[in-house]
Amino acid sequence: MIALNSLTGLKNHLQRIAGRNANSVWEVLVNEMKKHYVLFRNWMKKQIQSADSKVLSRIYGHDRGWVFTPSHFQDLGSRTAIGLALMRHTKTGTIRRLAIGLYDYPRQHPKLGTLNPAADAIAKALAGRDATRLQPAGGYAANLLGLSDQVPMKVVFLTDGATRNVRVGQQNIVLKRTTPKNMATAGRVSGLVMQALRHLGRRNVDDNIITRLRQRLSTADKQQLLKDRIYAPSWIADMVNRIARPEQS
């Protein structure tokens, strides 16, 4: 078997089969290879430049604070071209690399400078471009409802998609796959209330918590909460009745 795994091997093979004409054949072959290499290099350069401008245009089409992954640009070019474009825009400071495969178009504050991305924006980026749903849970759900002043260092979102975990700065963002029943109220205030109550626990949900939720929720929110109590454990359903039912005079 003839070894043609190098240019030297190819040239030696040509000399054996072409004899005196080997040098002429070799020169023609080399010139053709150079020509095609130049054409391929120019084509790649155009592809990369095209992807670069398209990626930048899509980034600028979003508000600052947008968090994204390379998959958000997969329709704009090859994986290599997109990766190079993101690397260049990171170096120029247009975007920021938060973690492996995770970037943002950072928000800027006149006094505080560059701000950290919002937890829900990170979660949406991790969830991807499909129809994956997200439901804030744990201490983060309580914080969103004003029942807790601190944003937890570990922010949990329930999801019907894949479980994922990423650390951004000092914060840990967790997407935790759960049951369809837990996701039945995803995207509604009722889901947020149920997850916050679950986090607080039965013993810690006192009259003060009930009053604060009654005051915070709109009439429409309370009506939806009553409809969705079928998805809650019995003790949370009892709390829902206290929160959402009209007060008796």
Identify the band that residue 236 occupies on the pLDDT scale cut at 50, 70 and 90.
very high
Mean of the pLDDT values across residues 156-174? 92
Q: Are residues 98 and 189 in the same domain?
A: no
Token pair 């070799």 is found at 26
- How is residue 205 written in tokens? 């949900």
Whether the predicted pLDDT of 26 surpasses 80: no
SS3 of the chain: the string is CCCCCCHHHHHHHHHHHHHHHHHHHHHHHHHHHHHHHHHHHHHHHHHHHHHHHHHHHHHHCCCCCCEECHHHHCCCCCHHHHHHHHHHHHHCCCCEEEECCEEECCCEECCCEECCCCHHHHHHHHHCCCCCCEEEEHHHHHHHCCCCCCCCCEEEEEECCCCEEEEECCEEEEEEECCHHHHCCCCCHHHHHHHHHHHHCHHHCCHHHHHHHHHHCCHHHHHHHHHHHHHCCHHHHHHHHHHHCCCCC
Whether the predicted pLDDT of 47 surpasses 70: no
Q: Are residues 149 and 215 in the same domain?
A: yes
Q: What is the pLDDT of residue 4?
A: 44
pLDDT-wise least confident of 18-22, 125-129, 137-141, 177-181: 18-22
> What is the pTM for the complete model shown?
0.75
Q: Are residues 107 and 146 in the same domain?
A: no
Q: Are residues 142 and 84 in the same domain?
A: no
Q: What is the CATH number of the domain that holds 111?
A: 1.10.10.10
Q: Are residues 156 and 238 in the same domain?
A: yes
Most confident of 24-28, 82-86, 149-153: 82-86
Q: Are residues 155 and 201 in the same domain?
A: yes
Q: Are residues 58 and 154 in the same domain?
A: no
Identify the band that residue 78 occupies on the pLDDT scale cut at 50, 70 and 90.
confident
Percent of the chain surpassing pLDDT 70 = 79
Q: What mean pLDDT, rounded, does the chain reach?
A: 86
Whether the predicted pLDDT of 3 surpasses 60: no
216-235 pLDDT tens trace: 999 999 999 999 999 999 99
Q: What is the pLDDT of residue 150?
A: 84
Whether the predicted pLDDT of 208 surpasses 80: yes
Q: Is residue 92 part of a domain?
A: yes
Q: Is residue 154 part of a domain?
A: yes
Q: What is the pLDDT of residue 70?
A: 94
Q: Is residue 1 part of a domain?
A: no
Q: Is residue 18 part of a domain?
A: no
Q: What is the pLDDT of residue 45?
A: 56
Identify the band that residue 249 occupies on the pLDDT scale cut at 50, 70 and 90.
low
Q: Are residues 170 and 239 in the same domain?
A: yes
Domain boundary among 59, 84, 117: 117
Q: Are residues 98 and 142 in the same domain?
A: no
Q: Are residues 144 and 215 in the same domain?
A: yes
Q: What is the pLDDT of residue 37?
A: 64
Q: Is residue 216 part of a domain?
A: yes
Mean of the pLDDT values across residues 160-165? 90
Question: Which domain covers residue 217, as residue numbers?
Answer: 133-244
Domain boundary among 57, 85, 117: 117
Mean of the pLDDT values across residues 226-246? 94
Q: Are residues 82 and 161 in the same domain?
A: no
Whether the predicted pLDDT of 2 surpasses 50: no
The count of structural domains within the chain is 2
Q: Are residues 78 and 144 in the same domain?
A: no
Whether the predicted pLDDT of 122 surpasses 90: yes
Return the higher-pLDDT residue of 198 and 29. 198
Domain boundary among 117, 147, 174: 117
Q: Is residue 55 part of a domain?
A: yes
Identify the band that residue 128 occupies on the pLDDT scale cut at 50, 70 and 90.
confident
